[in-house]
Chain A
Amino acid sequence: MATYKPVVVQACPKLGERITQDTLYWRGYKTPVQIKEFGAINKIDFSPVSPYNYAVTASSRIHIYGRYSQEPVKTFSRFKDAAYCATYRDDGNLLVAGSEEGSIRLFDVSGKAPLRQFDGHSKAVHVVGFLSDKYRIFSGGDDYSSRVWDIPRATEIVSYNEHTDYVRCGCASKVNADVFITGSYDHTVKLYDARTKTSVMTVEHGQPVESVLLFPSGGLLVSAGGRYVRVWDVLKGGQLLVSLKNHHKTVTCLCLNSSGQRLMSGSLDRHVKIYSTTSYRVVHSFNYATSILSLALSPEDETLVVGMTNGVLNIKHRKPEERNEDSQKKRRPAYRTHIKGKTYMPKQEDFCVSKPVKRVLRKYDRLLKSFQSSKALDAVLEPPIRLHTPEVTVAVMQELHRRGTLKSALAGRDEKQINLLLTFVARRVIEPRFTPVLVTVADMITDIYQPVVGQSAIVDRQFLRLKEAIGKEIDYQEELLEVLGMMDTLFATFTKKRDTCLDENKSNGLTDTIETNKNN
């Protein structure tokens, strides 16, 4: 024997962005905090140790911000001209920065004055960084050279002059203390081993390289330049793995999330795109107000900091998630009732009686089950259903129509209810998925309440609104038809060419024109 079957509510595929795990995860940030800096922010670097302060390089200063502070915790401003690329060492104690005048300075995070100064570059140094043995620094400058420096003696160890244009980005390997890469405006990324005199590997990016990144394993290399982000396999000798073209302006910065599963890229087109590192597809993207120059993500993805060309620092903190668990805890039944009978294991000779599962029906289903049409219609005209899930309302109307009781359910309503119904119909009748049902409903309402038109100003106004909505829709459809007609003409000229070639292999002499159109 069949049980009652609930009303089928037609689910429509949601257009636009699909909600995935990623969207939910990356939406979990609070509204951003904005801090104005003095100039374009060229580098943001998080301290690798708690409390994860971050250094922001803008103009001639380096500001260090605490996790939640709006004011800088510390400032290094001993630069005559612009400072570049302030980077933390692995232990978070030292900070190194390049400068426009060509010198590299090493700071103690707790001190004020520079500990060391490395001179040797003849032009601005845009990229500096620590090698992973902590005692050496690599740098790249506008004099086309890349150098490795010894921290204790403040001397140059080795210099490479292989690039033929400005060196603007670089990254040290976390696996090997001697390996680092630099990217240059000469469209190449070069991989160096500090033990050798020449570069070990060169990859051709194709555009001036703005940013490079090595994966934590050291096996993959990511380069960004122009509109492209390219991923290279280092272990295969620099083979191109994938080329991503998702921005429409120059990509300026790259960043990996803490798990290494997602790659982020910021661009002058004001977008930050997040890619999955398995499929290399965009899984999410953020929009910002102005062009992005730098981007950093704190460990555990707690904070997302983005620096803009106009000197605005945009900081997003992750929302806490504990609150949700709390509310679940409250609903749980008491331990005693919860555990009751659960521990008893049935013996072999026991006869188990299973409790029939109680089916929970929605209110309108309960009413429909007992054939109470008017009440069922009332139930789906309640504000939450009517406003948020109009498809339920329409599905119930359709079901009532199918049962032949829609007319009696619509009849006998007072001014307020008619007003409500007509508002709903006038608003939704133009939605294609609801049109067939709501046209019937509108027909019936006009049939039923025709004699009382003119008695209530509110109802009359609603009728006029309905008429207006339908009139607008008809005009719109007519326009669409015109466009369709134009397109058909175009298609017809397109198929005529094919037709002639078809005629040739037709053997029984019956010529036909084909009317085909591809459905998209």
Chain B
Amino acid sequence: MVAPAALRVVRCGGSPRHAARAVFSADSYLLCASGDFVKMYNLATEETLQLMGGHGGLVTGVQLNPHNCMQLYSSSLDGNIKLWDFMDGIPIKTFTVGHKLLALYAIASSEDSVFVVIPKIGERDTFQLVSVKLTKAAGQDLEAKELSVVLDSVDASPKCIAFGREGEYVASVKEVNLQVYFFKQKQLNRFSVNAVKAKSGNNHFTCVACHPKEDCIATGHADGKIRLWRNFYHRKEYTFSTLHWHHDTVMDLVFSVEGTSLLSGGVESVLVLWHNESDCQKDFLPRLGSAIEYISMSPDGAFCCTLHMDNRITIINSNLRFSKSIQGLIKSMDVKTGLVIDPRTKALVLNGEPGHLQFYSLQSDQQLFSLDIVQRQYIHQAGLNQVDLVKVAFSARGKWLATVEEREEVTDPELQLKLWFYDEETQSFKLNTRINLPHEDHITDVCFRDVDELEDDSLILVTTGRDGVFKVWVMVEDTDPEAQQSVSWSCDFVGSYRNYQATNCCFSEDGSLLAVSFEETVTVWDSVTWDLKCTFCHPPGKIRNICFGRLTCSKYLIGATDYGFLCCWNLLSCALEWSTHLNILVLQPDPLSECIAAISWLSKESSLFVFKPNEPRPIYIQRNLCKEKIQLAAFVPRDEPEMISAEKYFWLRRSQLFFLTDTQELMTLSTKSSEERLTPASKQLAVEEGLLVTPFSLLLGKHRRQQSQEDVGKLVAHSKHGQDSPAVKELLHTPAHVLPSASFLCPIFINSLLISKEDKSAEEVADEVEMESENTEDDSDEERGVAEMEQENTNPMGLLGETICKLSKSQEKELRKIRKMDYSWISAF
């Protein structure tokens, strides 16, 4: 490893999945399982009071100790049950069960045991409900191996088992079967509904709840029906009645404390209150934002709480009035907008609720506000094609916000471009201009001309579309003094390039140049006259990302192709400066420095490369950043520059890199110093990087490294001595339409034949700075650039294989040089 494992990937912000019902404590606190933690919220202030960590897996059950209301049981997939003093956040005891625990139930009637759902040993996908005897022995870590099976073949979901009145019976549902087991009689009754496959779905059981005072069981079904079962002591003469309002799966059911009413929720995101178990008396609390996953009641019946699919917690009064909502980073279906930083609040901006833009404060892990962009009623129904927010861009000072929303249609998409103006008085964005159908096809990119110094009226917005054009939008001042608003936006220029789809756009730092990528070609336009200045191309492969260098590197344009190349073009000489073979997914320039972060995806791991465009040798490489694909990344400026002593992490001094993975987890890179600031509990968050370093691994590593370098050397030799010389290769691989005239190509071709000699002389002069070749046509130099990068990466390209070739003199020389290189730093590991 090139980098010492000082830089750690830290999960930050955004509460992970809730896997169990929340629990109200007796004194108005809310306890909730959230990922590997149990969180305690204050109901009055919505604040997180305690974060109880210690489980090594997803927390699957949270239950108050029925015998001591200040204690809490929690179970986790790591096979432990922990007993907490939640007021102080201290773990009292840990019981090791040894199986995956999928649900936890604690009832008052069972003295010293709790019930858990564990997978049946030896069988896949079958689960059983067992009671675990919790020993009262002294000591913190205890074994709890006394298991007795209560029910077989139960569902894994914690919603599918419910304990009846005073723990007399337990009801469990799975598919079309309902089992009721009476503890005293030791009698098991089974009931089943006839499986119906209707258009609206099947009638499988999805959840179960037991009446707290009477012998009544409520079950929810996948077709939206609720059945109330009575008389289930008899196997034959049982009765049930049906309540039906939901049009989709009933996700959760809960009885009120006295059992007079029943609460149900589902995908519709409507909380339904059924009075007296009758079909006609019901109340609704509609538009809760997203599908309700769990419902729970407080023991005094004053509150009820719903956990939603998008990680939100809603607290509702007993009279079905919305009271509060606790929300962090809202999980949306798909983050299409990318990670954008609001320059005003430094908040992270991305898709929130459907049709909303969430402003998420990274420091406080709180949602600052949610801006309704689409302004249409969202229908919570599967299979509907609804308007979604796809692109967002802020102007440099955050005064203007441009959003693009679209709705996929069979014929042509419904598109809207909206421009929002920040109103200082109301402290929020106000809609200024709405443009219907700005492009004829999907909009692929939006950017503002980001110039701080210039006046606001020089603001320019560029949109690129799949319809093959990019459009320039400018502000138009309304001269009529009686008009409602003084400015509006209108189209100023439409540019296209050979009817290719426009994919990306980017302004240079001073705003004088606009780069627009059209499939395989990058075009550079003058932003004053809108003349095409030059084009760049690195065939084959379409351009995936482009960005301009900043500050001292502003003469460079960086582009990544989906064929796995990262290229850097010099804008002054209009030539390729260097290129390297990397499958770049994300290319993110730091707004405060020259550094550019590139995240690649290779063989099931993401890697981070940080480089300056003027030197192709990366500043920093982190292999195996995480196992998931990284979708998006953003540099967030720090409030005050952090003191980082290590040269390697200098690029992290003024801004911090955040990235979002496929599974929508927000992560950041943290140096040690910030690590120390973390509280001990959350220290567990950090994913340990780096392997155990032993002398043997060091030795092995060194050996492997040398081997790999030799391989690379051979590779270079191979590519050089291959039948196709670079010039010929260029000739063959460049599309005909971008090829210059034959008279122009001829000298290059001839030069390329003479290259080895030239190279030799160049070699002797430049040994460190050999990368900075200015001549693009000289492809061999470029090849070496690739090779150098590969050495840094220490990852030999296996796919090219080991081809043994006779080495030329220059290559031998190069290899010797590599061997001479100082490897003493490895021992610093």
Contacts and interface: CB of A to CB of B under 8 A. Distances in A.
Interface of A: 1-5, 7-8, 10, 18, 20-21, 279, 368, 399, 402-404, 433, 436, 439-440, 498, 502, 506-512, 514-519
User: For the complex, would chain A's binding face be called helix, strand, loop or mixed by DSSP majority?
Assistant: loop
19 contacts: A1-B288, A3-B287, A4-B377, A5-B376, A7-B376, A8-B375, A279-B481, A368-B377, A402-B384, A404-B383, A440-B411, A502-B531, A508-B534, A508-B536, A509-B741, A509-B744, A510-B740, A514-B531, A515-B499
Interface in B315-347: 322, 325
Interface stretch (B487-495, B676-684, B689-697): B487-495
A498 to B, nearest CB: 8
Interface in B471-504: 471, 480-482, 491-499
A2 B290 CA distance: 11
Contacts of B499: 515
Given A5-B376, A498-B531, A519-B493, 9 more contacts: A1-B314, A3-B287, A4-B287, A18-B480, A404-B384, A506-B534, A507-B534, A509-B741, A516-B493
A519 B492 contact: yes
A1 B535 contact: no
Nearest to A278: B481
B728 interface: no
Interface in B342-395: 372, 375-377, 379, 381, 383-387
Nearest to B377: A5
B495 A516 contact: yes
A242 B744 CA distance: 60
B376 to A, nearest CB: 6
A275 to B, nearest CB: 15
Contacts of A507: 534, 573-575
A2 B289 contact: yes
A518 B376 contact: no
Given A3-B287, A402-B385, A404-B384, A512 B497 contact: yes
Given A1-B287, A519-B493, A510 B384 contact: no
A371 to B, nearest CB: 9
A28 to B, nearest CB: 17
Contacts of A8: 375-376
A510 B535 contact: yes
Interface string B733-776: 00000101100100000000000000000000000000000000
A119 to B, nearest CB: 53
Given A2-B289, A5-B376, A20-B480, A515 B497 contact: yes
Contacts of A514: 497, 531-532
A224 to B, nearest CB: 25
Interface string B402-423: 0000010001101000000000
Given A512-B535, A514-B532, A5 B375 contact: yes
Contacts of B372: 5
Contacts of A440: 411
* Size class of the B contact interface (CB-based, 8 Å): 35 or more
Contacts of B288: 1
Contacts of A279: 481
Contacts of B531: 498, 502, 514
B593 to A, nearest CB: 29
A452 B148 CA distance: 69
A404 B387 CA distance: 13
Interface centre among A4, A436, A498 (most CB of B within 10 A): A436
Contacts of B575: 507-508
A231 B637 CA distance: 57
Given A510-B740, A515-B498, A1 B289 contact: yes
Contacts of A368: 377
A516 B530 contact: yes
B285 interface: yes
Nearest to B740: A509
Contact of B384 (A403, A502, A515): A403
B436 interface: yes
Given A502-B531, A509-B744, A403 B497 contact: no
Contacts of A5: 372, 375-377
Contacts of A515: 496-499
A5 B534 CA distance: 48
A399 B411 CA distance: 17
Nearest to B738: A510
A468 to B, nearest CB: 22
B494 A510 contact: no
Given A1-B322, A5-B376, A512-B535, A436 B287 contact: no
Nearest to B355: A5
B537 interface: yes
Contacts of A439: 411
B660 to A, nearest CB: 25
Given A20-B482, A518-B493, A508 B384 contact: no
A508 B494 contact: no
Nearest to B414: A436
